[in-house]
Amino acid sequence: MALSVSLTNYDLISIRKKWLGILLHLSLSIILFFVTFFATFTLSAKIDGFTIFYIGCAFGAILFALLTNIILPFQHFWSSLLIITVLSLICFPIATYIHETPWNIIPILKGRENISIVWMTLVGLGIAIGIHK
């Protein structure tokens, strides 16, 4: 996801050496993903309920937006952050609905791993709105 955000907005990268900006964004995003992923699932084992998944989705999206803002500045930072946060909060209900509804459209969307696909799609849409708004 970070690579697609960086490459599609190559001309807007704020660092003079564009390839360095892409590598920086990619490496920091991978670290951010694993930290958020493991923190969310570690806390979900200790805390009952799905509240931690909402917090994990929002926290990961906010951190990804802040990281992206360093390399690809948002035109309206606070409104972009609000849009990204709202889109990340609706990821878990949409992913749960897709999981519980018997669809035979795409087999990968049947399992619980569909949360990552929905999250990347909606947060990526929010990032694109933030960059180009």
> What whole-number distance in Å separates Cα of residue 59 and Cα of residue 65?
10
What's the N-to-C CA distance of the chain in angstroms? 20
- The tokens for 3 are 């690579």
List pLDDT tens digits, range 19-47. 888 888 889 988 988 888 888 878 877 77
The domain segmentation of the chain, as residue ranges, is 2-132
Amino acid (1-letter code) at residue 11? D
List pLDDT tens digits, range 107-126. 666 666 677 788 888 888 88
Please, which pLDDT band fits residue 49 given cuts at 50, 70 and 90?
low
Please name the residues in contact with 105: beta carbons below 8 A apart, sequence gap of 6 or more: none
**What per-residue confidence (pLDDT) applies to 121?**
86
